[in-house]
Amino acid sequence: MRRASWILLGCVFVSAGCDRGWNLQGRVRTRAPSSEEALPVDGATVQVGCNDDVPLQAQSNAKGVVNLSRLGPIADDCTVEVSAPGLESQTFTVAELCTHRYGPDEVCGTLELDAVLAPPPVGE
């Protein structure tokens, strides 16, 4: 019985490997008001939305780094919204962020995010 479980588990991993998905990786930064230096944004929300699907979310860490992965394809018109309290949000399409495609349909496999969120204009 135990051997059958391991064989079944191996089949799941092999089939998951064949049904590739996508991976979003990158960073969220902001510019300091008195300098051009880009500083990491801790706790920024990165949300991936496609049509009526429930959006997927991840938070950036203290270094501004964010990672989000999922099995299955992602359409080029899906959106990636980046937001953080006190900063203006940015929205990208998958087509804008895609750096690697695979398969006969050229499905996006890797999204590279480098978002620089600006403070709101003075007076808002």
| CATH number for the domain that contains residue 113 | 2.60.40.10
**Greater pLDDT, 124 or 20:** 20
Beta-carbon contacts of residue 110 (< 8 Å; ≥ 6 apart):
22, 23, 25, 98, 99, 100
The mean per-residue pLDDT over the stretch 82-96 comes to: 96
pLDDT value at residue 120? 83
At residue 13 the predicted structure's pLDDT band, cuts being 50, 70 and 90, is very low
Q: Mean pLDDT across the chain, nearest whole number?
A: 84
How many CA atoms are closer than 13 Å to the CA of 88, on its beta-carbon side?
A: 9
- The reply to whether 58 falls in a domain is yes
Percentage above 70 pLDDT, the chain: 83
Write out the residue range of the structural domain in which residue 86 sits: 21-117
pLDDT in tens, 56-65: 999 999 999 9
Q: Is residue 55 part of a domain?
A: yes
Question: Is residue 9 in a domain?
Answer: no
Rounded to the nearest angstrom, the gap between the alpha carbon of residue 70 and the centroid of all alpha carbons in its chain is 10
User: Would you say residue 8 lies in a domain?
Assistant: no
CA distance 92 to 38: 19
15 within some domain: no
User: Which among 27, 22, 21, 23 is positioned nearest to 82, based on CA atoms?
Assistant: 27
- Based on the structure, what is the number of domains in the chain? 1
> Distance (Å, rounded) from C-alpha 80 to C-alpha 86?
19
